Chains A and B, each alone.
Chain A
Amino acid sequence: MGLNLDFSVVLERWPLFWDGAVMTLKLAALAIVFGAIIGTFCAVGRNSGNRLIARACTLYVEAIRNTPLLVQIFLVYFGLASIGFKFSAFSVAATALAINVGAYTAEIMRAGFESIPTGQIEAAEGLALSRFQIYWHVILLPATEKVYPALTSQFVLLMLASSVTSQISAEELTAVANYIQSDTYRAFETYILVAIAYVVLSLVLRAGFWALGFALFPRRRRLGTAL
């Protein structure tokens, strides 16, 4: 029994890999942008004085955090279909991933909000800033800065987890790999390459968030504190 690896037939199909990787990045980017928005609103909602809104946000966060991603994807997929909507696998995948990462983002952002000392908020209130202005100028950026490493990890995890959307045939990296290995009978080689591709994607994403953090947090840049 010897290990006999032959990457040539698999490598021949590199344009497919490329397309899959691009699709994975697009999927992750969409889910992260919308998930960040959903999560931030939800964290604000949980802090709001309105009990109904706070409860609804908590329910959403707990429901998502206590069910498997694959089941959530199927729920969106079959749920939309059963009420007569026909969307592409990509749209369904992006929607489900955004809903999923939104809940985790909400939890992380809530911790960020709680890290802001009440004195900061009182000082802002004392200056006659409105609630919205306080969130925008005094809470959001410092809170994001505090939890930025956790957010980055969560978003990288989401990108990796997007591989399960291959189950509904979204044409991302893992789905492409499934197709290539059944076509070439070179399963091990295929998944070695896919694993490497995911590592590269993770590094790309981390570099992207590092650059974004650099732009978002000028104080860190000026004072040279690491993120």
Chain B
Amino acid sequence: MTKDSPVVSLKEVHKSFGALKVLDGVDFSVGRGDVLVLIGRSGSGKSTALRCIDRFETIDSGEIHVCGHRVDAPDIDLRALRQDVGIVFQSYNLFPHLTIEQNITLAPVSVKRMAKAEARERAAAVLAQVGLAEKLDAYPEQLSGGQQQRAAIARSLAMQPKVMLFDEVTSALDPELTGEVLKVIEALAADGMTMVMVTHEMGFARGIADKVVFMHAGKVHETGTASILAAPATPELAQFVGTGF
């Protein structure tokens, strides 16, 4: 991987679930420090594309390169890939039986073999980063949805990933709680984190995206900078932006 090669790139990616073709030759790439926003109608394959990057789905054909890992290779070292990639889901998936601190230190200690004391320091640091410094000893169920999602982001950050994937991380939240989560993501972007995110928050996408990928019927239907949201070239994107979905 050279210095300027993309952190994530998909080439001619095809993926079907049974007879249903979900990805039909998808191409896109993300440079270091860039934010790519995936948008599209429900069922257009955004989540699937995102999950392929972290190999939660295997692809039928095409190539996926992530931080020097050849993700489509059958013999890929999954755990090495996933140390470089952080993923946050719509349903925060914090481990309910562990405190927030334990949620965060689990992977650094058991995967990276980090000393407990160091892992705790890092937990405190990433929690401060997402504005939850005082929640170290709380259990997930004691937190609001927005706080849980921020804690989940902190848990990923503690592994010091090279790229972060977000799949509609605010969709499960009450509208008044989405702002605090989006702010954390904005700060991450400002810090230079490479990100791929699926979102329905168009205003947010416009502000944060270096690149927008509009998916339609399993294909990248239109792509460009955030300006395509204001001036769509295709009727499909125009309609999507117009209706919001």
- Give the contacting residue for B93; candidates A119, A128, A133, A217; CB below 8 A: A119
List A207-227 residues whose CB lies under 8 Å from chain B. 217, 219, 222-223
How far is A122 from B82 in the complex, measured between Cα atoms in Å?
A: 11
* A97-105, A135-143, A151-159, A166-174: which lies at the interface: A135-143
What is the count of residue pairs linking A and B with beta-carbon distances less than 8 angstroms?
A: 66
How far is A217 from B110 in the complex, measured between Cα atoms in Å?
A: 21
The verdict on A223 contacting B156 (CB below 8 Å), with A126-B87, A127-B82, A217-B97 known, is no
Q: Is the CB of B106 within 8 A of A127?
A: yes
B204 interface hit (Cβ, 8 Å):
no
Q: Is the CB of B56 within 8 A of A128?
A: no
- Give the contacting residue for B111; candidates A119, A127, A138, A219; CB below 8 A: A127
Q: Is the CB of A126 within 8 A of B142?
A: no
- Give the contacting residue for A123; candidates B78, B83, B89; CB below 8 A: B89
A125 interface hit (Cβ, 8 Å):
yes
Q: Is the CB of B97 within 8 A of A128?
A: no
Chain A: interface residue total (CB-CB under 8 A): 22
In the complex, how many angstroms separate the beta carbon of B44 from the nearest chain A beta carbon?
A: 21
B107 interface hit (Cβ, 8 Å):
yes
Q: Is the CB of B56 within 8 A of A127?
A: no
Q: Is the CB of A127 within 8 A of B156?
A: yes
Interface string of B212-242 (1 = CB under 8 A from A): 0000000000000000000000000000000
How far is A127 from B111 in the complex, measured between Cα atoms in Å?
A: 8
Q: Is the CB of A128 within 8 A of B139?
A: no
Q: Residues of A contacting B83 with CB < 8 Å?
A: 128
Q: Residues of B contacting A129 with CB < 8 Å?
A: 106-107, 110-111
In the complex, how many angstroms separate the beta carbon of A135 from the nearest chain B beta carbon?
A: 12
How far is A145 from B56 in the complex, measured between Cα atoms in Å?
A: 28
Q: Is the CB of B159 within 8 A of A219?
A: no
- Give the contacting residue for B91; candidates A119, A142, A217; CB below 8 A: A119
The verdict on A219 contacting B107 (CB below 8 Å), with A119-B93, A126-B82, A127-B156 known, is no
Q: Is the CB of A137 within 8 A of B106?
A: yes
B46 interface hit (Cβ, 8 Å):
no
B79 interface hit (Cβ, 8 Å):
yes
A120 interface hit (Cβ, 8 Å):
yes
How far is A29 from B138 in the complex, measured between Cα atoms in Å?
A: 35
Interface string of A45-77 (1 = CB under 8 A from B): 000000000000000000000000000000000
How far is A117 from B111 in the complex, measured between Cα atoms in Å?
A: 22
How far is A141 from B106 in the complex, measured between Cα atoms in Å?
A: 14
In the complex, how many angstroms separate the beta carbon of B71 from the nearest chain A beta carbon?
A: 14
How far is A133 from B79 in the complex, measured between Cα atoms in Å?
A: 12
In the complex, how many angstroms separate the beta carbon of A169 from the nearest chain B beta carbon?
A: 45
A8 interface hit (Cβ, 8 Å):
no
17 A–B pairs (Cβ distance < 8 Å), ordered by A: A122-B89, A123-B89, A123-B152, A124-B95, A127-B106, A127-B155, A128-B79, A128-B80, A128-B82, A128-B83, A128-B111, A129-B110, A133-B110, A138-B95, A219-B96, A219-B97, A219-B139
Chain B positions near chain A (C-beta within 8 angstroms):
54, 56, 78-80, 82-83, 85-87, 89, 91, 93-97, 106-107, 110-111, 139, 141-142, 152, 155-156, 159
